[in-house]
Structure 1
């Protein structure tokens, strides 16, 4: 449980830094890899992470910059990273 805004900010900064490291480890070639037979590929999972942040924030009345939940999935890992940076830094 967060008891101060600063506590949340500190936690968020650590969490978003970790997510950036994961996104930076993905390559364009890896995006089409499925996590298992019949499951989502890495591109869909990465984009879901990006678009879920503003969707959840909207449910609390907060408005964030960046791609919205229904934004089309981009083709490149760089666009996914840019979308995450926009949302996470908002």
Structure 2
């Protein structure tokens, strides 16, 4: 749970940069790749990382610019990546207006009472969870994957090394 706004901002800056690296590698052709029939495509999953369909941050009163919930994903990977960049910047700007005391306020989130600091932490974990799903779909689509917490296979190879198995 975040106890200071500064901690949230630092953590979200790092995590959103990782997400941005992945989104910047998407292609228009890859957006239809799904893990299986009836499952989210890369385009749907990437868009889910951008629009506020769960409303976690809005439910705690954070006011930021994002596409409307349940909006259809664009057919352009570049538009998705640019929209994420704008939304992440807007979240950081909105959070910077909060005081640390605001993190201690509580709200009903999905039928449970959570402090805002917890909601913000779980918002980031939610993004990381779906980012992991995105990397699997990217591999299935034949796309390179950016290293997030260490080098990816492609990045190991660029360093002239063999990736550990």
Rounded to whole Å, the distance in 1 between the matches of 2:75 and 2:61 is 30
Q: State the TM-score, normalized to the length of structure 1.
A: 0.87
More strand by share: 2
Q: Deviations over 1:6-53 (max 9, x none)?
A: 111100001100100110121111111112343111001001111137
Structure 1 residue runs without a partner (length 5+): none
Contact in 1 for aligned 2:52/2:66 (Cα 8 Å): no
| Distance change in 2, residues 1:16/1:53 (3 Å) | farther
Task: State the partner residue of 1:15.
Answer: 15
Task: State the partner residue of 1:32.
Answer: 32
**Aligned pair count?**
90
Larger radius of gyration: 2
Q: Post-superposition, which runs of at least 4 consecutive aligned residues in structure 1 deviate over 4 A?
A: none
Structure with greater contact order relative to length (CA < 8 Å, sep ≥ 6): 2
| Distance change in 2, residues 1:87/1:53 (3 Å) | farther
Range that drifts further, 20-29 or 51-60: 51-60
Contact in 2 for aligned 1:54/1:64 (Cα 8 Å): no
Q: State the TM-score, normalized to the length of structure 2.
A: 0.50
The 5 A counterparts of 1:52-63 are 52=52, 55-63=55-63
Task: State the partner residue of 1:48.
Answer: 48
Rounded to whole Å, the distance in 1 between the matches of 2:53 and 2:64 is 8
Alpha-carbon distance, 1:54 to partner: 8.1
